[in-house]
Chain A
Amino acid sequence: MSRLEAKKPPLFISEPLTKDTVSQSLSLLSGILKSCYGPAGRLKQLHNGVGGYVCTTSQSSAILSRLSVSHPVLSVLTASVQNHISRFSDCGLFTAILCCSLVENFKSLNVASCTVIKISKHLLSLCMDYLKSEACGCRVSVDFSSLEALLCLVRSVLTSKPACMLNKPEVDHLTTLILKAFMFTVPCHVETNAVLGKCIIVPVKGRRVVDSTVLPGLLIETPDTQLAKPLAVKRTCSNMIKIALFCVSMSGDLSNPEEGTITVPYGISLEMSELNQLLNVGKQLVNDEVGLVVCQKVIHPSLKQYLKENHVITVDRAGLSLMEPLSRMTGSKPIASIHSLSPSCYGSLKDMRIEKFASKHFVHLIPNDTVVCSLILCNRNETAWDELKRACETAEHVLQLTIKEPLALLGGGCTETHLASYIRHKSCSLSTSSFKDIDCSRTQYQLVADGFCRSLESVACSLNHDDGEILTDMVYGHCWFVPSGFPSVSNWSDLVSKCGCGINGNTENLNWRLLQGQFGSPIIQGCPKDPSVKVADFLTLDCFAAKCSGLQVALETANLILDLSYIIEDQN
């Protein structure tokens, strides 16, 4: 007997942003994310509370993917930040913090949200135009003929993740490795549309970071039993190794279990017939002079034995993630069926050998033309290794984005404060006709612009986690840090040494002011200057594409959240 239950009516919540719970949750989330930001950021232990794996991290990708938020407003925010991370890897925290700040700042303004949205869109276009213009004072162009700027980009990514537990020599070592790995993935012969290769991260946990290394080609882990003796590989007449790549299981089970039952008369073994089929494939492989068989899944021991007797090397359980790079590297087509085997599927390899790292044995496949490489990544324990892997992937992605658009933004909070200075300057000098276009008053515009600038500045302030002061200068609009323990009345020029990104030193009086705490008093800001010297040596640099996208995503998400007037919740 079935029982019908009356459906509950949906729950309407109007003006969700005015609710206390929303603003509390939002400020808690904002607090968590701000505390993670930057090289001195605090870490979070993510775990299930019953003794499971503990993830210690300060990266937005790790935190947001495990965080379950209950409120729809927060879900909107986390979803759009995660989408940004999936496309750019970097600047996730920047985006999330800025978005929270924008919502909080705009909400407190006494301006209609539709006006806020219009003005903020105008402000965003000002920012984007400036960032894309030659005159932009907070970006540097990346010269791919020298290493400095590239090293800076990678180093900035690595040092901003303290849970990797790297010391200075280790950062230097990894920075070089990541760049080297990236260089391997750039094709030597560029045709009309060049495609970057791939860097595969091979885990070796428990080792020192300095034991990490990069090798061209691919590494596949294998149990060491079969590889005790030196490898004798069968080669073709052109001295290459012919390789067959299978993406279908060769374990000898019934490959595709479909619906229904198979009825077999007693005495006939399906396993045997499957195995015979496999052995036929083996015969053909031997006839075709294949020297190496790689299978994504498992190869039946009998087939392995047969191939071994015929001097064909087998590597099984290569895994799905290696198939695409393997096929690209060797020019072979993955074979998806053991019933039809076309000789055109075979690829070729230049060489192969056995490598040993820690207690693991690997088959090292070396291609003719290297666009695929393996980064053997070591770190002392699981948590730190996971964090380091994410950081390395981010760094590789940043380099890929930078080669498309060879620009970088100044890091260490300088871009944020510089942009804020620029907007403050611009918003004062805007013509009255512009206000008409936006349909707002000058005061409204100034209020929203101020909120926008304070949001940007609050991101820069989030870099500071111990007591101390954050300053900005009136000349370049950069961000400066003063350690705690000094009276705020003292002369700032005695206390600062270098700005956040490291481009400006304390050489002239730059007219510093406190970044926080002077709200209300209007700040008269000249147009921030471009630092005259642009040596990209030992600077903190951020990925241009990622930060620009972060800025846009943060503002658009904040606008979307401000625009929410109802939440309709299905209670069933």
Chain B
Amino acid sequence: MAFRDVNARRHIGLQQLSSLALAGRTLLGPMKSCKFIVDESTNQSTLICSAVRLIESLDLTSAAGQLLNETIQAQNKEFKTGMSTLLFLIGAWSNAVLECLQQNVPVSAIVSVMSEGLNSCCERVQCLQISTHDVNKELCSSSVRPNAFKSKTCQIGHDDLLNPQIFLHFQKDISAPEEVIPINSCPQQEDDCNFNKCLVSPLTGFGSIASLVKPAGDKSTSVISGSGVTASSCNRQKLTHSRYFSTLGKSHFSSQQGNFQGYLSGQCECYGLGHLAMTLSHGNQTSMKLLQSIVAYQQERAECSGSSRFNIAEIVTCCLLGLPESYSCVSPGFVTLVSPEQATVIKYFEDKPLRILLMDGDLTEQYRHLGFNRPCNVRTVLEHPSLQEVRAGDLWLSSMLDILISFKVNLVLVKGNVCENLMERCIANSILVIGSVTRDVLCAFGEVTSAQPVTYLTQLNASCVGSGAQVELWEACDGRAMDLGELVPVGIKVRGVPLLTAVLTTTVASKMQLIEDQFWTLVYRLHHALNDEKVFLGGGAVELLCLSHIQMLAEQPLQPANKNTVKEFHNPWLAASATEYKSVVLQALASGWKQYLSVVMCNTAKAASELEACTLVDHHLKKAAESGSPSAYILKGFRRGDLLRGGSGPFADHGEGLKVYDNVTAKTEAWRRALDSVLLVLQTDAEIITGPKRNQLLNSHVSSEFMFL
């Protein structure tokens, strides 16, 4: 066993956390700058725009890095949102804790004051929660002012996505790649020379993306170079639905008015979810519009059937590479990609209702259900060889085909892989077989067609086959031909099937993942908001209140020690030294949120520098304190839409801004997880390396760093 002391003067683990988190600074807030991650060994690069993808692409062999990865993945699995906040706060709080250690604050004091401080803040900010029901009502009340209403209300349908102005606007929002992080070296951009070393020149960065999009044609390349030109200015871009930044640029305002025409009248209550989706979208127009369409569809269905209003399990995505982003839309039913050969089957179907079969395994001869152990010691002997002997594989193929034909099956959805030969035979017999279908999709089709999923075709009986499915080639809204080369999108529908497919389109291959991620993030935000039944006021309101609350906690005279101890669990090993260092540690906690606000303001170009942003935050804190009731002050600022604004900006006179909201649980959990990881690393004083690596270390040049048992 090798043993390394990590707590020598400057805590190595915390330093690692802070330097890893530094790479995620520009991913914070609604204006994210994408990054290229370049693998130096293979020269392959990935375009990323979220903390999860960043962490996935980095080499994280250190213990602290592993912990960071685990934390981010856990948040992603649970919420699909809040990972950038988590990553940022881990970095900010690591730095703050390192400062505390420099001032000789005992570890136990840091741990107890910080975790109690966070607890207290989480309780305090409850007053900035607003129930989702009230968000809906807000829309109703604001509808009396038609001017505000027009810019705010949601729309259904996807015609507006065709508007070139919006499209361009969106293109610019996805700002140009800002940094290139070499995958194999530690990201440290703080000092300039280091930064320059890491930074492959921007030209090569764009070069690589240009080569990526070549097959898509000239148009997309020009889009990319266009955004490259605006790279320097794009941080100045004003956002429309940002939670941090709620002014509306005049030009955008008018262009949107044009778009938001022909909605609903008077039925605002029904479209409340659409409004909620918009307030949670934080400026992501494309995803928002798709989500609003989904919400409208589901709401309509909910009114008929009484099922839940928003069901995440009924949403699937289908990524189409090669169509402009304006073609993104929502299609009822299940849209998926098939080979051109499979697509030829469809024209034989015409409009007749199809018999559908669902399979929850692979459709291959070798496949056996999970837990089936193949016998290894069985030998088959052929006693009377005959001349008409058929090969075993052919036997299987023809018997499977016979089963399908005898049950008159037209369409087979398979969860796993499909045997190529069987696929060919099926196509020849006008049976469409589609593989890699998720379980949720199988379930949805099972419910409406009364098909029972089977594992083997031999299990099949009449009651397993469903009916009433329809398949057609999927068409873009303008009927544009789908010449995507290898794969063809098809839509599968059954009357009453609750599935909705968000068809995501882009001409830039490297953006596909990014667009899909962003869509799901927004879907989950709405999902969590409805689960929580409440949302936080956005735009930095919550963080600002935390800061003001900490200010108050730090100034509070020390509580008389005996006041609460009567009925409280006594733990002298934790509590004793805490009071002495309270204000220092609370400042450290506050610095996390302060940096968060200032970085968001810088990323959204609301402040020219972090210093300016900090001053602005301080200014608001002071005013909040002077007002006597910080929460009322913040609430007022939020309602006016000028929270965290200097007051002298070009749009200061603008009326009511758009309200922006945030998830409650996802946000507070991100805070808690961030602090937990920092404190976990802080309390760690040694790494113990087990296994074969020990001998390697013993003989290596760093062996002096280790002790061996």
Within 8 A of A (CB), among B669-698: 669, 672-673, 676-677, 679-680, 683-694, 696-697
Given the interface pairs A297-B371, A380-B672, A484-B577, the reply to whether A225 lies near B360 with Cβ below 8 Å is yes
Interface 0/1 of A451-480, CB less than 8 Å to B: 000000000000111111000000000001
Instruction: State A165–B115 Cα separation when bound (angstroms).
Output: 9
A32 / chain B contacts, CB cutoff of 8 Å: 3, 686, 688
Q: Is B709 an interface residue (CB 8 A)?
A: yes
Beta-carbon nearest neighbor of A463 in chain B: B573
Given the interface pairs A42-B683, A47-B687, A263-B379, the reply to whether A29 lies near B569 with Cβ below 8 Å is no
Q: Is the CB of A45 within 8 A of B686?
A: yes
Q: Is B622 an interface residue (CB 8 A)?
A: no
Q: Is B61 an interface residue (CB 8 A)?
A: yes
B572 / chain A contacts, CB cutoff of 8 Å: 412, 480-481, 497-500, 502
Which of the residues A40, A167, A297, A540 comes within 8 Å of B108, measured between beta carbons? A40
Instruction: State A48–B688 Cα separation when bound (angstroms).
Output: 8
Q: Is B382 an interface residue (CB 8 A)?
A: yes
Beta-carbon nearest neighbor of A537 in chain B: B567
Beta-carbon nearest neighbor of A499 in chain B: B572
Stretch in contact with the other chain, from A93-101, A191-199, A230-238, A254-262 = A254-262
Which of the residues A25, A167, A317, A483 comes within 8 Å of B119, measured between beta carbons? A167
Within 8 A of A (CB), among B56-112: 60-61, 63, 66-67, 70-71, 74, 77-78, 106-109, 111
Instruction: State A253–B378 Cα separation when bound (angstroms).
Output: 12
A235 to nearest B CB, angstroms?
Answer: 24
Q: Is A70 an interface residue (CB 8 A)?
A: yes
Q: Is the CB of B573 within 8 A of A253?
A: no
B67 / chain A contacts, CB cutoff of 8 Å: 45, 54, 56, 383
Which of the residues A53, A67, A381 comes within 8 Å of B1, measured between beta carbons? A67
Q: Is A301 an interface residue (CB 8 A)?
A: yes
B2 / chain A contacts, CB cutoff of 8 Å: 49
Within 8 A of A (CB), among B93-149: 106-109, 111, 115-116, 119
Q: Is A361 an interface residue (CB 8 A)?
A: no
Q: Is the CB of A67 within 8 A of B690?
A: yes
Given the interface pairs A56-B680, A261-B379, the reply to whether A68 lies near B1 with Cβ below 8 Å is yes
Within 8 A of B (CB), among A139-160: 155, 159
Q: Is B369 an interface residue (CB 8 A)?
A: yes
Q: Is the CB of A44 within 8 A of B379?
A: no
Q: Is the CB of A380 within 8 A of B107?
A: no
Beta-carbon nearest neighbor of B107 in chain A: A466
Q: Is the CB of A47 within 8 A of B689?
A: yes
Q: Is the CB of B106 within 8 A of A39?
A: no
Beta-carbon nearest neighbor of A159 in chain B: B571
Which of the residues A165, A482, A499 comes within 8 Å of B680, measured between beta carbons? A165
Q: Is A76 an interface residue (CB 8 A)?
A: no
Given the interface pairs A48-B693, A162-B111, the reply to whether A298 lies near B369 with Cβ below 8 Å is yes
Q: Is the CB of A380 within 8 A of B676?
A: yes
Number of interface residues of A (CB under 8 A): 96
A487 to nearest B CB, angstroms?
Answer: 15
Beta-carbon nearest neighbor of A266 in chain B: B382
Q: Is the CB of B680 within 8 A of A300?
A: no
Interface 0/1 of B542-578, CB less than 8 Å to A: 0000000000000000000100010111111110110
B658 to nearest A CB, angstroms?
Answer: 31
Chain B interface, DSSP helix/strand/loop, else mixed: mixed
B63 / chain A contacts, CB cutoff of 8 Å: 45, 47, 54
Instruction: State A206–B380 Cα separation when bound (angstroms).
Output: 50
Q: Is the CB of A257 within 8 A of B3?
A: no
Chain A interface, DSSP helix/strand/loop, else mixed: loop
A317 / chain B contacts, CB cutoff of 8 Å: 371
Q: Is the CB of A251 within 8 A of B369?
A: yes
Beta-carbon nearest neighbor of B106 in chain A: A466
B383 / chain A contacts, CB cutoff of 8 Å: 265-266
Instruction: State A54–B135 Cα separation when bound (angstroms).
Output: 43
Q: Is B204 an interface residue (CB 8 A)?
A: no
B376 / chain A contacts, CB cutoff of 8 Å: 257
Q: Is A63 an interface residue (CB 8 A)?
A: yes
A539 / chain B contacts, CB cutoff of 8 Å: 570
B381 / chain A contacts, CB cutoff of 8 Å: 263-266
Instruction: State A103–B574 Cα separation when bound (angstroms).
Output: 30
Stretch in contact with the other chain, from B329-337, B340-348, B453-461, B492-500 = B453-461
B442 / chain A contacts, CB cutoff of 8 Å: 225
Q: Is the CB of B375 within 8 A of A254?
A: yes
A74 / chain B contacts, CB cutoff of 8 Å: 709
Q: Is B447 an interface residue (CB 8 A)?
A: yes
Q: Is A353 an interface residue (CB 8 A)?
A: no
Q: Is the CB of B372 within 8 A of A264?
A: no
Within 8 A of A (CB), among B360-413: 360, 368-383
Which of the residues B439, B463, B577 comes within 8 Å of A468, measured between beta carbons? B577
Beta-carbon nearest neighbor of A264 in chain B: B380
Instruction: State A43–B677 Cα separation when bound (angstroms).
Output: 12
B12 to nearest A CB, angstroms?
Answer: 11
Instruction: State A257–B380 Cα separation when bound (angstroms).
Output: 16
Q: Is the CB of B439 within 8 A of A225?
A: yes
Q: Is the CB of A466 within 8 A of B577?
A: yes
B525 to nearest A CB, angstroms?
Answer: 17
Instruction: State A316–B370 Cα separation when bound (angstroms).
Output: 11
Given the interface pairs A74-B709, A466-B106, the reply to whether A300 lies near B369 with Cβ below 8 Å is yes
Within 8 A of B (CB), among A258-300: 260-266, 270, 297-298, 300
Q: Is A205 an interface residue (CB 8 A)?
A: yes
B628 to nearest A CB, angstroms?
Answer: 30
Within 8 A of B (CB), among A189-216: 205-208
Q: Is the CB of B688 within 8 A of A45?
A: yes
B141 to nearest A CB, angstroms?
Answer: 34
Q: Is the CB of B370 within 8 A of A298?
A: yes
Q: Is the CB of B685 within 8 A of A42?
A: yes
B71 / chain A contacts, CB cutoff of 8 Å: 380-381
Which of the residues B60, B106, B455 comes within 8 Å of A51, measured between beta carbons? B60
Within 8 A of B (CB), among A328-361: 358
Q: Is the CB of A228 within 8 A of B447?
A: yes
Q: Is A69 an interface residue (CB 8 A)?
A: yes
Given the interface pairs A159-B569, A481-B576, A538-B567, the reply to whether A35 lies near B375 with Cβ below 8 Å is no
Beta-carbon nearest neighbor of A481 in chain B: B572
A35 to nearest B CB, angstroms?
Answer: 6
A89 / chain B contacts, CB cutoff of 8 Å: none
B571 / chain A contacts, CB cutoff of 8 Å: 39, 159, 540
B135 to nearest A CB, angstroms?
Answer: 24
B363 to nearest A CB, angstroms?
Answer: 14
Q: Is B475 an interface residue (CB 8 A)?
A: no
Q: Is the CB of A381 within 8 A of B74?
A: yes
Given the interface pairs A50-B61, A302-B456, A381-B71, the reply to whether A44 lies near B378 with Cβ below 8 Å is no
Q: Is A186 an interface residue (CB 8 A)?
A: no
Beta-carbon nearest neighbor of B13 in chain A: A45
Instruction: State A502–B708 Cα separation when bound (angstroms).
Output: 39
Given the interface pairs A45-B686, A261-B377, the reply to whether A165 lies near B1 with Cβ below 8 Å is no
A292 to nearest B CB, angstroms?
Answer: 19
B691 / chain A contacts, CB cutoff of 8 Å: 48-49
Instruction: State A66–B709 Cα separation when bound (angstroms).
Output: 12
Which of the residues A67, A253, A484 comes within 8 Å of B373, measured between beta carbons? A253
A387 to nearest B CB, angstroms?
Answer: 10
A168 to nearest B CB, angstroms?
Answer: 8
B374 to nearest A CB, angstroms?
Answer: 7
Q: Kindly list the 6 A-B residue pairs having the minimum CB-CB distance in the complex, ordered from nearest.
A: A298-B371, A466-B106, A49-B693, A301-B455, A483-B577, A502-B570
Q: List 23 A-B contacts (CB under 8 A).
A: A40-B574, A45-B13, A45-B63, A45-B684, A47-B690, A49-B696, A69-B709, A74-B709, A206-B77, A225-B439, A225-B453, A253-B368, A260-B377, A262-B377, A301-B455, A301-B456, A380-B673, A483-B576, A484-B106, A485-B580, A497-B576, A498-B570, A539-B570
Beyond the given A32-B688, A68-B690, A159-B574, please list 9 additional residue pairs across the A-B interface where CB-CB is below 8 A.
Answer: A28-B3, A42-B683, A44-B688, A53-B66, A159-B569, A225-B443, A252-B372, A257-B373, A466-B106
